[in-house]
């Protein structure tokens, strides 16, 4: 639904996935992460917003994706795709920031 509303084409295969959700590449060079848990979605979105406010894009050599857009009703985060090394788990970042 998000991809359709934003006029995005999803690339195959998925970039990744796991317990928290699925990450898909788009035709505009971004990734969308569809999350299963609204609480985890809000926590991850808060981390992305914090990083943008503080202009933090690299931590200890790991690249942080930049927030592009979000869909609160469907727990979707659209972000830039970064090159390695990159942070896979936003939970790890939130622990460092606490």
Question: pLDDT of 4-14, one tens digit each?
Answer: 999 999 999 99
Q: What is the CATH number of the domain that holds 43?
A: 3.30.200.20
pLDDT at 98 over 80: no
Q: Which residues pair with 71 in a beta bridge?
A: 76
Least confident of 29-33, 52-56, 69-73, 85-89: 85-89
77 to 31, 60, 87: CA distances (angstroms): 8, 24, 15
Could you read off the pLDDT of 46-70 as tens digits, one per residue?
Answer: 989 998 999 988 888 888 889 999 9
> b/e per residue, 47-64, with b = 16+ CB within 10 A?
bbeebeeeeeeeeeeebb
- Vertex 16 angle, CA 10 and 19, to 5°: 120
Angle at 48 between CA 53 and CA 63, to 5 degrees: 95
Domain span holding position 70: 2-97
* Total domain count, the chain: 1
pTM (2 d.p.): 0.84
């Amino acid at each position: 639904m998000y991809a359709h509303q934003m006029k995005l084409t999803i690339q195959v295969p998925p970039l990744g996935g796991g317990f928290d959700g699925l990450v898909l590449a788009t035709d505009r060079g971004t990734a969308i992460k569809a999350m299963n848990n609204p609480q985890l979605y809000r926590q991850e979105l808060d981390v992305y917003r914090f990083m943008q406010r503080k202009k933090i894009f690299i931590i200890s050599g790991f690249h942080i994706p930049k927030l592009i857009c979000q869909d609160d009703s469907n727990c979707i985060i659209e972000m830039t795709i970064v090159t390695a090394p990159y942070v896979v788990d936003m939970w790890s970042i939130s622990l460092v920031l606490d």
